[in-house]
């Protein structure tokens, strides 16, 4: 009987299954490893893609850890924790989802499990891990991070390129990286508290079939994938006053179930005329406020189109509600879903109009797009992606989202660290040395934490078909020299060394331009530690089986 196992006679337990002690730990580790092994081969610039087919035959081809895990149907409760972990990392940082799962699940948990087998209590391991995580984050921020200001705009482009390198658009990073940086810089806003923010949502990504990925373009302004409702309308309006509606501008029809009894056939005509006039009155009320661009999520009747054309306004129907919300936000408009006011009449206030310098319909490739330029409140920008097929475009959009998030983090936090396994190796050496200074049992856990971090450079090298043992050993010796060097020593620069996977050697990754935002690394470490600890704490799993109610029906009713 293991040292930490509960007395099996403790508490009489009826129904359901109970797994406790070492057995449940082993199960959790197996579940974690099986998930980590799925995404392991997609880590890094030379990682491979996964093809996922769901139950209705929809195909997704992706390299993004969070996307892969969200499409997996994970039964094991411990496995689900890692799926949530990847989702959280994707939401908060945008990139680094694969590495966080590999570090936390596979390595931290597996090594902790080995320590428990060696008769070290889980509480000691958790305390050691927590200590290691705190020290690692401190060392990362104080010693390894570099201010973006000292590297300039190139640092942003390099951080973008690093994020892209493992994705579909990695081959064309010379085109996409500057494009993504421009898009993010264009949406800079300062909120009420005086903080500078770069909202990723303000960058609209449109997908258009045809041509090659290199034909993708960056458009200043918010692009709508719609066209004007009638060919007779203007396609360019300057000083646009924009009305965002969520109303159907089609002829009013009588509600179902409403009966009108009439005694004169002429009254029928009267009813019909009134039906069409209700909508026309609405349109006139909207135009009376000076609106010259009308965007609606529903349809517009031919009858109303005539009014818009005569007024010289531009009307667009069937826009996506999400697009309208963003346009309303960036132009200062209000998305109006009903014209009724508190008095029971129908009115349209001029205050709910938004303002933009120009709204224009342009032909980009085969599609007509409507661009809203020079918005009043938040500047917006759009990227039109071109690609051969849907899978390609979807994957490009995911990659671009990760890249934009990384640029946002870099701009908001203002510091970057060298990529390519440099950070993990430096932390590993530092924690190993740090563990030897402790006199408690925690040093074993900290040493294991240090070794767990090395899984990232090892996996990167393996995925690039290089000799991981040799490369990681070389990298460790460089980082060891850097940390033992005194302040003015040129060897100090060795702490920036990471892997060069294309040539299979070690190089200075700051000069090579492989950079990642510090926030991303710190967040991954913390998330990995938290997920590992939450599973380490478990020593008993009770699976309750629902009771059978009454006699089972032999006929299966």
pLDDT tens for 336-371 read 887 777 777 777 777 888 888 888 888 776 677 888
* Catalytic-residue membership of 331: no
What pLDDT score does 550 carry? 61
Share of the chain above pLDDT 90, in %: 3
With 0-12 CB in 10 A as exposed, 13-18 as middle and 19+ as buried, what is 525? buried
Average pLDDT of 91-112? 80
* Residue 314 Cα distances to 220, 233, 243, angstroms: 20, 6, 10
3-state secondary structure at position 404: helix
Helix (H) or strand (E) holding 470: helix 468-484
Tokens standing for residue 543: 């699976």
Locus of tokens 């508490």: 11
Do 381 and 203 contact (CB within 8 A), yes or no?
A: yes
Q: What is the pLDDT of residues 47-57, one digit of tens each?
A: 888 888 888 88
What pLDDT score does 1 carry? 46
Residue 296 to residue 335: CA distance in whole angstroms: 9
Pick 518 or 196 by higher pLDDT.
518
Do 386 and 210 contact (CB within 8 A), yes or no?
A: yes
Tokens standing for residue 385: 């992606």
How is the chain split among helix, strand and coil, in percent rounded to 5? 50, 20, 30
Q: Which of 60, 90, 95, 97 is catalytic?
A: 97
Residue 485 to residue 429: CA distance in whole angstroms: 13
Please state, rounded to an integer, the average pLDDT across all residues of the chain.
82
Which of the residue ranges 1-10, 410-419, 476-485 would you say has the lowest mean pLDDT?
1-10
Q: Is the pLDDT of residue 5 over 70?
A: no
Q: Which of 98, 375, 403, 425 is catalytic?
A: 98
What pLDDT score does 329 carry? 80
Q: Is the pLDDT of residue 445 over 60?
A: yes
Residue 497 to residue 428: CA distance in whole angstroms: 14
What pLDDT score does 500 carry? 85
* Catalytic-residue membership of 97: yes
What pLDDT score does 554 carry? 63
pTM (whole model) above 0.85: no
Q: What is the pLDDT of residues 200-247, one digit of tens each?
A: 877 888 888 777 778 888 887 788 877 777 777 788 888 888 888 888
Residue 49 to residue 72: CA distance in whole angstroms: 15
What pLDDT score does 7 carry? 54
* Catalytic-residue membership of 98: yes
Residue 229 to residue 252: CA distance in whole angstroms: 19
Residue 405 to residue 462: CA distance in whole angstroms: 27
Q: What is the pLDDT of residues 463-476, one digit of tens each?
A: 888 888 888 898 88
Close Cβ partners of 41 (under 8 Å, ≥ 6 residues apart): 47, 48, 463
* Catalytic-residue membership of 90: no
What pLDDT score does 105 carry? 67
146-147 vs 189-190, strand pairing mode: unpaired
Q: What is the pLDDT of residues 284-315, one digit of tens each?
A: 888 888 888 888 888 888 878 888 888 888 88
Q: Which of 49, 60, 64, 173 is catalytic?
A: 64
Q: Which of 90, 95, 173, 402 is catalytic?
A: 402
């Amino acid at each position: 009987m293991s040292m930490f196992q509960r007395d099996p006679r403790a508490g009489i337990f009826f129904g359901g299954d109970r797994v406790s002690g070492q057995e449940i730990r082993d199960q959790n580790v197996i579940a974690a490893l099986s998930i980590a092994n799925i995404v392991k081969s997609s880590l890094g610039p030379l990682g491979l893609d996964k093809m996922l087919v769901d139950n209705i035959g929809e195909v997704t081809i992706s390299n993004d850890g969070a996307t892969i895990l969200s499409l997996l149907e994970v039964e094991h409760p411990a496995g689900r924790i890692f799926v949530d972990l990847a989702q959280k990392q994707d939401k908060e940082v945008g990139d680094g989802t694969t590495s966080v799962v590999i570090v936390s699940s596979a390595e931290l948990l597996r090594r902790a499990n080995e320590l428990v087998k060696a008769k070290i209590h889980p509480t000691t391991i958790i305390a050691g891990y927590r200590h290691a995580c705190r020290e690692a984050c401190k060392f990362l921020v104080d010693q390894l991070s570099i201010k973006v200001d000292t590297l300039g705009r190139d640092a942003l482009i390099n951080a973008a390129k690093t994020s892209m390198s493992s994705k579909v658009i990695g081959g064309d990073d010379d085109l996409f990286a500057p494009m993504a940086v421009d898009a993010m810089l264009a949406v800079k806003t300062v909120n009420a508290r005086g903080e500078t923010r770069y909202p990723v949502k303000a960058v609209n990504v449109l997908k258009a079939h045809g041509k090659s990925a290199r034909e993708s373009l960056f458009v200043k302004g918010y692009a709508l994938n719609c066209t004007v409702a009638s060919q007779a309308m203007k396609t360019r309006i300057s000083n646009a006053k924009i009305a965002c509606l969520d109303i159907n501008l089609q002829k009013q029809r009588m509600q179902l179930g409403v009966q009108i009894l009439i005694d004169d056939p002429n009254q029928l005509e009267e009813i019909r005329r009134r039906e069409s006039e209700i909508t026309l009155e609405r349109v006139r009320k909207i135009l009376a406020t000076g609106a010259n661009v009308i965007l609606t999520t529903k349809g517009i009747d031919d009858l109303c189109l005539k009014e818009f054309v005569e007024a010289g306004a531009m009307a667009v129907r069937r826009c996506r509600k999400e697009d309208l919300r963003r346009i309303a936000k960036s132009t200062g408009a209000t998305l109006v879903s009903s014209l009724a006011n508190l008095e029971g009449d129908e009115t349209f206030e001029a205050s709910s109009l938004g303002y933009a310098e120009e709204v224009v319909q342009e032909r980009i490739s085969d599609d007509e797009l409507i661009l809203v330029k020079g918005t009043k409140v938040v500047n917006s920008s759009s990227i039109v992606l071109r690609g051969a097929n849907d899978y390609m475009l979807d994957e490009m959009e995911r990659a671009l989202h990760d890249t934009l998030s990384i640029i946002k983090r870099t701009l908001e936090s203002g510091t970057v660290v060298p990529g390519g396994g440099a950070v993990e190796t430096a932390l590993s050496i530092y924690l190993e040395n740090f563990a030897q200074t402790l006199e408690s049992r925690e040093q074993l856990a900290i040493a294991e934490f240090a070794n767990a971090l090395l899984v990232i450079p090892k996996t990167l090298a393996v995925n690039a078909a290089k000799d991981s043992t040799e490369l990681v050993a070389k990298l460790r010796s460089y980082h060891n020299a850097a940390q033992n060097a005194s302040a003015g020593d040129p060897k100090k620069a060795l702490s920036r060394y990471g892997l060069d996977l294309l040539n299979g050697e070690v190089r200075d990754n700051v000069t090579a331009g492989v950079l990642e935002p510090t926030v991303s690394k710190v967040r991954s470490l913390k998330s990995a530690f938290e997920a590992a600890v939450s599973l380490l704490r478990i020593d008993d799993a009770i699976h309750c089986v629902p009771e059978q109610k009454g006699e089972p029906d032999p006929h299966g009713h």
